[in-house]
Structure formats: C-alpha cells, structure tokens
C-alpha cells in the first residue's frame, strides 16, 4: 500500500540441530496436520507454526509434508467414490422427488469431488461441480467461497466478488469472507470496498490484529494519519510478542514523520534497531518518507548523519542500497564510497556491477566479475554472468560446466524457481551443441533428481520438442501433462502447434480450453507471432476479444 506497506519481521527460526531432530519435527508435523484438518486453511497452520518459533523456510518444509499426507488421505477416500450427477438425478433433487438423505449424500460427494478437482488444478471442472452444488443447495456457503477463490485464481475478479458477496449475504459474521473479499478488492484497486471489509472485521472482532493493522494501512493511504496512528497503537498494545509489533512499529515511525513528530519517530527508530538488529530495512523507513515527498537531500542526509554519529560504515552501504532502484548514478558513487572501506563485500560489488551494466558504464565487467568469484567462488550472480559471457563467445562446453555448477548449488536450496532457472539455462546451452538424444537424457535426469519440479520440467520438454519441429512428440507431452494436472499453457502450446500444422479448428478448440483456465492468454494470443495468420479470423477475434 505504498510507503507504509511494511512487512512483518521474518524470525531467524529454530536452531538447525533442534529443528532437524526427529522428535521436534514430529511435534511440528502433528501440529500442522491438526490445524489443517481443523480449519482446512493453511494460514491457520502457518500461524501456529510461527508461534512456536519456526521461520518461513522451516514452515514451508513442515507444511509441505503435512499437506502431502492430507492430500493422500483425501485421494484415498475419493478413489472409489462415484462422482458427478446425471441430469435425471439432478432433476429429481430439484423437483423434490429425492429424499433428504439422498440429496445430502449426493451434495457431499459433489462438493468433495469439486474440492478434489480444484486442488488437482482442474479449475473449470471444479467450477461446474460447485455450481451444481449451488443448484442443489443455494445456501451452501462453502460452494460460493470456493467459486470465489477459483475465479480469483483465474483473474475473473468480477465473478469472484459476486461469489464472495453471496457467501457474505449467507454468513454475514464470518471474518474470513471479508478477508477474502478485501484481497480481491485490493487486486482490482477498489480501495474503498477493501477498507469497508476491514472495518467490518473490526466491528465483528475488535481485537483482530491483522484487520486492525490492515485498516491502519487503508487509513494511511487515505491520508488519515491520526486515525491510522490510533489503530497502530491498539495493535501494539494487543500484540502477544515482539514479532507481531514489528510491522506496526515500522509503520508508526512513518506516520510520526508524516505528523511532524520527528524526535518521536527517531526515538522509535533507535528502539527498533536494538530490538531487531538484523533487520536492515528499519534504516530506510525515515529516508523513504522524505524521498517519497521529494525531500531527497533530507533523505540522504539521514544516512550520512547516522554514519557520522556511529562511525559504522554499514550506513554508507544502507545509503547505496536505498538508492539502488531510485538513483542509479548516485548509487554507484555511494557503493564506490563504501567499497573504499570494505573492498571485499561481494554483495556491494555485485550491486555496483549490475548498476554499471544498467547505466552502460565503461568498465571491465569480466575483471569485476572475476574479483567477486575470487572472494566468493559460489556467488550465483557472478557465475551467471560468467555463463552469459561464455555463451556470447560461443564457448558452449565451458558455459555448460559453469551452468551445471549453478544447478548443483541451487539443487540443495529450497528455491524451486531458481532451480528451474538453472535447469532451463542448461537445456538452452545444450541445444547449441548437443544431439537430441543427449538432451533428452538431460531432461530425464532432471526429472529423476527433482521430483517436485517434475511437472515443470515436463512442460519444458514439450517446448523443446516444439522448438525442434517434433510436433506430435510435443503434443504427446502436453497431453500427458494435462492428464496429471490441467494447465492452461499446455492447451495453449497445443493450439499453437495445431495452427502451425494448418489445423485451424483444432487450434481454436485448444485455445478455448486454455482461455477457460487462464483469461490472460487472450492478450498473449493477440500478439503472438506464431498465431499472426489468425489475427483476421472472425472466430479467433471472437475468442480473444
């Protein structure tokens, strides 16, 4: 929400030795499973796990394990259940011919399967089933809630709001419904309605910390700083521990500056630096307010004065980091100033190198990059730079060696996005000098070594076949992917292939399936060069309008 949208502090977590112990993991696992089964809401489980001290990464590990068990239990229960409903049975229910028990049994089955389909990514199937649930029981709140979530995921925000409004009409005191509506309202920039949602939650529960904090940020956005301050003070008074007051205190510093209470703001800032010494973002709160208000000199003087007061060179780095996205030329000079004191800080060297590239500064990039790797041989940023240099020099075999080093580093980390990026980098390099058989061997190896990324790697394999003109093989891969999990872009890629094969009708059929799952494909399709021959096709125009 702009200059005051501060995130709560991420705690450092439980020590590895304790977290990795079997007894502690079983305790965490049991807690997560219990909360998931109790509320069917992962946020509740996350909240409980954080209360016992887990950090974001540790929570993710426990939650994934717990959710896998619940999914397996659900799938086991659903495996032998008869799903769907015939038109005749639906007509009997709607006409009142079916007994209450029959109606309830069918409704329970439909809802279970709709939820199952939703989790499997078969969104359109789930929507159809939830709508049938509503036909049977128009007062079934759960169906509207799930429809709202599905439509939100598919960017059908107007429909999502209709669904959640109906749920609220049926269950007007359910805080979660207003939270869901607020998220969608913020997404579509309907801030007035978002604010009303949080006001309603506070009306239902005056001690709801998350709603009080969110409402304070709405007040800030509307320039109601005094009211926002009052709300933040309530949050701070009610918060059970210091982790819960991190975000509110950061926001309070900003509001105090806005209200002209500079001394109080600085006193709170100094208090925060002692409470959360590892959080460097605290040092940017006051400068950010001044910079946002075009008081750039005042903003930068804050870092300079803190450096003079403390003689801590980190304030020179904080200033450079603060300027990184705001003033690139000034940021380079600030990194230069800091690196005179600490020439082996690889993060500062890395940031300066990135800025020099962005501003087209004449510099020996290779030498600067090698310097980073001398200090930190596994620096991912510098290794990627080396890959790019070797690739541009067409030294593909050496580029592959460095790329594989990056993959081995990323493989042991929890960031699946970066791991996939390293896999894609390797495949791109391999395509420059390897035969198809060896490349497919790479795909198989990656899928075997990365069980959680198997689906994404399969999609990339389909793209590889498409890029080499092996269209039927590509279609087989994308079809196989959809059998496991419906994904809009699988259908979209098949549509593109069908168009390249001159099969316009089949192309448009698959395009429709893709758009049903992701309406954003409409915009991509209208601009994609491999569909250019369809731009004047009436059916294509209607489909993508």
Confidence band for 105, pLDDT divided at 50, 70 and 90:
confident
Per-residue pLDDT, 85:
64
Grade residue 71 by pLDDT with cuts at 50, 70 and 90. low
Looking at residue 1, its pLDDT comes to: 38
* pLDDT for the residue 59: 84
Question: CB–CB of 422/385 below 8 Å?
Answer: no
State percent of the chain over pLDDT 70.
Answer: 92
What pLDDT, on a 0 to 100 scale, did the predictor assign at position 97? Answer: 81
Q: Return d(Cα 308, Cα 320) in angstroms, integer.
A: 16
Buried b or exposed e, range 470-506, using 16+ CB within 10 angstroms: ebebbbebbeebbeeebbbbbbbbbbbbbbeeeeeee
103-110 contacts at long range (C-beta below 8 A, 24 or more positions apart): 103/136, 106/136, 107/133, 107/136, 107/137, 107/140, 109/81, 109/82, 109/83, 110/83, 110/84, 110/85, 110/136
d(CA 434, CA 81): 48
- Lowest average pLDDT, out of 201-215, 318-332, 359-373, 379-393, goes to 359-373
According to the model, what pLDDT value does residue 119 have?
Answer: 79
**Which among 247, 248, 209 has a CA at the least distance from the CA of 228?**
248
Instruction: State pTM to two decimals.
Output: 0.70
pLDDT value, residue 352: 95
At residue 82 the predicted structure's pLDDT band, cuts being 50, 70 and 90, is very low
Confidence of residue 223 (pLDDT cuts 50, 70, 90): very high
pLDDT in the model for residue 389: 93
**308: its two tokens:** 């003079």
**Candidate from 52-61, 138-147, 496-505 with smallest mean pLDDT:** 52-61
Task: Please determine, for residue 320, whether its predicted confidence score (pLDDT) is greater than 60.
Answer: yes
User: pLDDT band at 162, cuts 50/70/90?
Assistant: very high
Spatial distance between the Cα atoms of 295 and 288, rounded to a whole number of angstroms = 9
Is the predicted pLDDT of residue 324 greater than 90, yes or no? yes
Q: How confident is the model at residue 23 (pLDDT cuts 50, 70, 90)?
A: low
Q: Residue 159 in contact with residue 188, Cβ under 8 Å?
A: no
Point out the least confidently predicted range of 19-23, 236-240, 338-342, 457-461: 19-23
79 falls in which pLDDT band (50, 70, 90)? very low
**Average model confidence (pLDDT) across the chain:** 88
pLDDT band at 441; cut points 50, 70, 90: very high
The reported pLDDT for the residue numbered 116 is 81
Residue 408 above 80 pLDDT?
yes
The pLDDT of residue 37 is above 80: no
Structural domains in the chain, CATH included, are 206-293 (1.25.40.10), 294-349 (no CATH), 364-434 (1.25.40)
pLDDT in tens, 266-314: 999 999 999 999 999 999 999 999 999 889 999 999 999 999 999 999 9
Which residues lie below 8 Å from residue 146, measured CB to CB, with a gap of 6+?
114, 115, 118, 126, 130
pLDDT for res 108: 85
Give the pLDDT score at 84. Answer: 58
Banded pLDDT at 3 (limits 50, 70, 90) = very low
Identity of the highest mean pLDDT range in 102-111, 112-121, 193-202? 193-202
Helical (H) or strand (E) element with 189: none
Res. 165: pLDDT tops 90: yes
* Range name among 80-84, 102-106, 222-226, 312-316 with the lowest pLDDT average: 80-84
């Amino acid at each position: 929400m702009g200059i005051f949208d501060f995130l709560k502090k991420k705690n450092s977590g439980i020590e590895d030795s304790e977290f990795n112990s079997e007894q502690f993991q079983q305790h965490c696992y049991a807690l997560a499973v219990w909360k998931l089964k109790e509320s069917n809401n992962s946020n509740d489980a996350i909240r409980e796990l954080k209360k016992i001290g887990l950090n974001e990464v540790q929570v993710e590990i426990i939650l994934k394990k717990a959710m896998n068990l619940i999914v397996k239990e659900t799938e086991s229960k659903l495996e032998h259940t008869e799903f769907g409903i015939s038109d005749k049975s639906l007509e009997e229910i709607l006409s009142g011919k079916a007994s209450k028990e029959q109606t309830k049994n069918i409704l329970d089955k439909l809802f279970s399967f709709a939820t199952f389909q939703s989790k499997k990514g078969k969104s359109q199937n789930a929507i159809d089933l939830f709508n049938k649930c509503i036909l049977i029981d128009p007062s079934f709140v759960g169906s509207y809630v799930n429809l709202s979530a599905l439509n939100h995921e598919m960017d059908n925000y107007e429909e999502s709001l209709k669904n959640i409004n109906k749920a609220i009409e049926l269950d007007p005191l359910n805080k979660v419904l207003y939270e869901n509506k607020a998220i969608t309202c913020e997404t579509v920039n309907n801030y007035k309605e978002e604010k009303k949602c949080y006001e309603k939650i506070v009306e239902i529960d005056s001690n709801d910390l998350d709603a009080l904090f969110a409402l304070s940020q709405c007040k800030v956005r509307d320039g109601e700083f005094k009211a926002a301050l009052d709300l933040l003070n309530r949050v701070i008074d009610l918060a059970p521990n210091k982790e819960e007051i991190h975000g509110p205190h950061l926001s309070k510093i900003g509001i105090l500056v806005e209200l002209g209470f500079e001394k109080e703001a600085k006193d709170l800032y100094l208090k925060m630096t002692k409470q959360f010494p590892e959080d460097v973002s605290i040092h940017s709160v006051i400068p950010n307010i001044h910079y946002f208000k075009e008081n750039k000199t005042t903003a930068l003087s804050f870092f300079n004065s803190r450096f003079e007061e403390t003689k801590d060179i980190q304030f020179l780095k904080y200033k450079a980091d603060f300027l990184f996205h705001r003033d690139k030329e000034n940021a380079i000079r600030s990194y230069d100033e800091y690196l005179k004191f600490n020439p082996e800080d690889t993060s500062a060297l890395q940031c300066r190198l990135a800025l020099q590239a962005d501003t087209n500064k004449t510099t020996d990039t290779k030498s600067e990059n090698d310097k980073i790797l001398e200090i930190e041989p596994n620096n991912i940023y510098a290794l990627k730079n080396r890959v790019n240099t070797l690739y541009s020099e067409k030294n593909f075999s050496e580029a592959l060696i460095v790329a594989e080093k990056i993959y081995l580093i990323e493989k042991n980390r929890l960031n699946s996005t970066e791991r996939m990026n390293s896999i894609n980098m390797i495949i791109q390099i391999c395509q420059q000098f390897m035969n198809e058989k060896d490349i497919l061997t790479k795909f198989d190896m990656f899928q075997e070594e990365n069980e959680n990324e198997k689906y994404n790697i399969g999609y990339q394999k389909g793209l590889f076949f498409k890029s080499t003109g092996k269209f039927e093989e590509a279609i087989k891969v994308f079809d196989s992917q959809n059998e496991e999990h419906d994904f809009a872009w699988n259908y979209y890629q098949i549509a593109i292939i069908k168009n390249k094969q001159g099969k316009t009708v089949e192309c448009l059929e698959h395009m429709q399936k893709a758009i049903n799952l992701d309406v954003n494909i409409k915009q991509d399709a209208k601009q994609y060069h491999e569909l250019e021959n369809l731009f004047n096709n009436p059916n294509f125009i209607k489909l993508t309008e």
